[in-house]
């Protein structure tokens, strides 16, 4: 019985990273998702406590960053929106203008890396995330 439970648990644990990377968790709200031009996926999701960005640095090479919701800075205008997750060592700017979207990864003291969403694959809006982040406490506040 224990051996069967271990193998079942192992199967479940191996699936968890794939499931969490594929998109938003049930408790999360989608801000933006798309298929990247490199064939990978990007998903920016949030809860009242946290924003989580999952993306593929290369095909099947997932990356993920989560920050407190208050550590997201946002800009929303009629023709452009961006949400930047500020983390230790880097900032992750997700931007959207019509169906043009992508991610700029800006490492502290390094050059930026850009990921572009494929045309016609963008879903979501950054406005609700940006508004919620304004009222959330930042981890940098005393």
pLDDT tens, residue order, the chain (142 aa): 444 443 333 333 333 333 344 589 999 999 999 999 989 999 999 999 999 999 998 877 899 999 999 999 999 998 999 999 999 899 999 999 988 999 999 999 888 999 999 999 999 999 999 999 998 888 775 4
Q: Cα separation of 30 and 35, whole Å?
A: 14
Residue 140 lies in a domain: no
Residue 80 lies in a domain: yes
Q: Cα separation of 99 and 110, whole Å?
A: 28
Domain enclosing residue 105, as ranges: 2-135
What are residue 49's phi and psi, to 5 degrees?
Answer: -105, -30
- The predicted model scores a pTM of 0.81
Residue 14 lies in a domain: yes
Number of domains in the chain: 1
Q: Are 56 and 36 in contact (CB under 8 A)?
A: yes
């Amino acid at each position: 019985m224990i051996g069967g439970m271990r193998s079942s648990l192992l199967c479940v644990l191996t699936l968890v990273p794939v499931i969490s990377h594929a998109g938003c968790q049930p408790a999360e709200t989608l801000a933006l998702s798309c298929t990247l031009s490199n064939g990978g996926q990007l998903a920016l999701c949030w809860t009242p406590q946290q924003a989580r960005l999952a993306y593929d640095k290369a095909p099947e090479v997932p990356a993920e960053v989560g920050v407190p919701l208050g550590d997201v800075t946002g800009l929303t205008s009629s023709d452009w929106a961006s949400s930047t997750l500020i983390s230790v060592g880097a900032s992750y700017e997700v931007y959207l203008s019509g169906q043009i979207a992508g991610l700029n990864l800006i490492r502290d003291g390094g050059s930026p890396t850009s990921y572009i969403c494929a045309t016609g694959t963008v879903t979501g809006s950054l406005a609700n995330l940006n508004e919620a982040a304004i009222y959330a406490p930042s981890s940098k506040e005393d």
